[in-house]
Structure 1
Amino acid sequence: MTETLRIIFMGTPQFAEVSLQALLDGPDEVVAVVTQPDRAKGRGKKMQQPPVKVLAKASDIPVLQPTADIRSEEFQNGIASYQPDLIVVAAYGRMLPKNLLDLPPLGCINVHGSLLPKYRGAAPIQQSIINNDSEVGVTILQMDEKMDTGDILCRSRILPDPGETSGSLFLKLAALGSSTLLRAICGLKEGTLIPTPQDNSIATYTPMLKKEDGLIDWRMDAVKLESLIRGLDPWPTGYCFFNGKRLRLFKPEVVYLDPVVEAGTVIQADETGLVIACGTNALKISEIQPEGKKRMKTTDWLRGANLAAGTSLQPEESA
């Protein structure tokens, strides 16, 4: 099959937008886009369109935003009316039912932000940073009815940079995913791809992150906390509390020393920076976001924060 394919794209956030742009720039035709409904965001609860919708509208591509069950006959008939040869999914946010998976002749393929079967699930990119993986990547897989369990069509790998955050890695893997997607589609058209079943015995899962996952337990090892804070940047962010208000923490650096104080105790808070004792070693925090304020250099915040050495930042329930 070498003719132009009719593709339906399903995705929602910026990660998916990059793959959609690659398809729009490629040789095939995107006949429709499916994305999540507009959501109220921010303090003003203003309705915002998903990035994928914004791009699709700018490109005059029909946009579907189902609010009801996508298993419905009505939705399936709507998708079928576009006569897709292939459905491409990237961070859409819903599982696809069998009737949709079986609809296009080439099936449905997914752009996933990990080297499957490692990190199936909702937060693979964050988890790769949290675990301080030396190698990361993307997988294009043939979708089935379960979460990220389908046959692998192709994968691409890169090495994360020192100090990488999930935010910076998202951008890199979005670009890598888009180029790998085009390679996979070319292989599907030429019949050169050999689907490889995943080894379920070595599969790992990553659940969706919650805001509460960012609360720092300073009793952990500083090296693990450093990668945790990077992995939670930009959301939900690592945080602690000072005077009852949330402090979001960024740009951590391990300080190798033997704390003689309890974990969570401020060792240093002056013009040279903020250092906090951990279960093993300590962390220097170079940027911070006080509750209700913008992200700033920690040294700027410390000038008016009245935070002294000896203060405990360990949650009371864990102390």
Structure 2
Amino acid sequence: MFNIVFMGTPEFSVPSLNLMIEKFNVKAVVTQPDRPKGRGKKIIMPPIKNVAVEHNIPVYQPLRIRKDENLIKELVNIKPDFIVVVAFGQILPKEILDIPKYGCINLHASLLPKYRGAAPINFALINGETKTGNTTMMMAEGIDTGDMLLREEVEITENMTYGQLHDILSKNGATLLVKTIKNFNSIEHKKQEDSLSSYASMISKEMARINWEMTAKEINNLIRGLNPHPIARTEYNNIVMKIYEAKVLEKNVNNKPGTILNVSKEGIEVACLENTLLVTKVQIPGKKPLEVKEFIKGNTVEVGTLMC
């Protein structure tokens, strides 16, 4: 049975670690440090650490892995067959990449070489892709540039959100990792075509602000790609309004983009550069997210007002 060192941090990594524990011998888990979270700034363990603790697996939490000489020595002593990396959040130095017998394998949530980087799931949705998937790859010193091992496609349906796609890729990726490790010696290593690559940067708060001078489809893709976090947002009467869900209406108008055209229990209809957007679920500060049909019972939304 292969000896594995697993490196990962967020919820996305959990199905992969669970399957690694079930199928192989996980000798250690490396994850990010515990950090404060939420309004109360309570110190929270990474999801991966919770799994490791439940299974009595040693956990290491380096602040900067490339400078942690003690951890590097521990990894050498473990003598892993593979280091498996799933959304760890730190770049591994060559010193660590060279440790395992067969190499370091990374699970990346895109069809490489498209969407290298930190937010491939978000950008697949934001850019209106109709398919994405997972790729297992050998890790190199660049960011998601190593040789590809296996790829598996996933269809993106019309109204799929980031949260839904995240869960599908997380679960499917765990199975793909097991398949990759079990068949490692017979899998062809394929170099990535750099000319076909694109980069998915980290999502910033600025990116979440809706520009109504975009088409309704583009805005809806942004909304889907940022749900459930950090959530697309706009301003209505100087109040930040988060938009969780919307629909594209094949209806063109001459109103200035951002103008509220109609308000009903069906939603808030807003003019866009092309077609209109029917906003169906919103949130304002201090309140819970609500379907528009519930929101308008206690809040006034005026036709003719400009979202900005």
**Which of 263, 267, 292 matches 2:286?**
292
Asked whether the 8 Å contact 1:71–1:97 carries over to 2, the reply is no
- Kindly provide the amino acid, as one letter, of the partner of residue 198 in structure 1: Q
> For residues 67 and 197 of structure 2, what CA distance do their matches in structure 1 show?
27
- Kindly provide the amino acid, as one letter, of the partner of residue 125 in structure 2: I
- Kindly provide the amino acid, as one letter, of the partner of residue 245 in structure 1: I
Q: How many pairs are equivalent?
A: 308
Which residue number in structure 2 is paired with residue 187 of structure 1?
183
Which residue number in structure 1 is paired with residue 270 of structure 2?
276
CA displacement at 1:294 relative to structure 2: 1.2
CA displacement at 1:69 relative to structure 2: 4.3
Asked whether the 8 Å contact 1:213–1:236 carries over to 2, the reply is no
**Which of 102, 105, 109 matches 1:113?**
109
- Kindly provide the amino acid, as one letter, of the partner of residue 56 in structure 1: A
> For residues 202 and 110 of structure 1, what CA distance do their matches in structure 2 show?
20
2:10 maps to 1:13:
yes
CA displacement at 1:210 relative to structure 2: 0.7
Deviations 1:253-286 (A, max 9, x none): 0011122210000011233321111111110111
Which residue number in structure 2 is paired with residue 235 of structure 1?
229
CA displacement at 1:68 relative to structure 2: 3.7
Deviations 1:165-195 (A, max 9, x none): 111000000011001000100112xx10110
* SS of residue matched to 1:70: helix
Asked whether the 8 Å contact 1:111–1:138 carries over to 2, the reply is yes
Which residue number in structure 2 is paired with residue 317 of structure 1?
none
Which residue number in structure 1 is paired with residue 134 of structure 2?
138
TM-score, normalised to structure 2's length?
0.97
**Which of 27, 32, 37 matches 1:36?**
32
Which residue number in structure 1 is paired with residue 62 of structure 2?
66
Asked whether the 8 Å contact 1:219–1:279 carries over to 2, the reply is yes
Instruction: List structure 1 runs of 4+ shifted beyond 6 angstroms.
Output: none
Asked whether the 8 Å contact 1:125–1:169 carries over to 2, the reply is yes
CA displacement at 1:73 relative to structure 2: 2.2
> For residues 95 and 68 of structure 1, what CA distance do their matches in structure 2 show?
9
**Which of 197, 204, 221 matches 1:203?**
197
> For residues 101 and 208 of structure 2, what CA distance do their matches in structure 1 show?
43
The CA RMSD measured in Å over matched residues stands at 1.1
Give % identity. Answer: 38
* SS of residue matched to 1:240: strand
CA displacement at 1:161 relative to structure 2: 2.2
Asked whether the 8 Å contact 1:120–1:205 carries over to 2, the reply is yes
Asked whether the 8 Å contact 1:274–1:299 carries over to 2, the reply is no
2:221 maps to 1:224:
no
* SS of residue matched to 1:117: coil
- Kindly provide the amino acid, as one letter, of the partner of residue 201 in structure 1: S
TM-score, normalised to structure 1's length?
0.94
- The correspondence of residues 85-100 of structure 1 with structure 2, limited to 5 A, is 85-100=81-96
Asked whether the 8 Å contact 2:265–2:292 carries over to 1, the reply is no
Which residue number in structure 2 is paired with residue 80 of structure 1?
76
2:249 maps to 1:255:
yes
**Which of 229, 254, 258 matches 1:264?**
258
- The correspondence of residues 43-58 of structure 1 with structure 2, limited to 5 A, is 43-58=39-54
* SS of residue matched to 1:81: helix
> For residues 264 and 78 of structure 1, what CA distance do their matches in structure 2 show?
57
- Kindly provide the amino acid, as one letter, of the partner of residue 37 in structure 1: P
> For residues 75 and 240 of structure 2, what CA distance do their matches in structure 1 show?
45
Unaligned runs of 5+ in 2: none
Asked whether the 8 Å contact 2:60–2:71 carries over to 1, the reply is no
Asked whether the 8 Å contact 1:128–1:136 carries over to 2, the reply is yes
* SS of residue matched to 2:262: strand
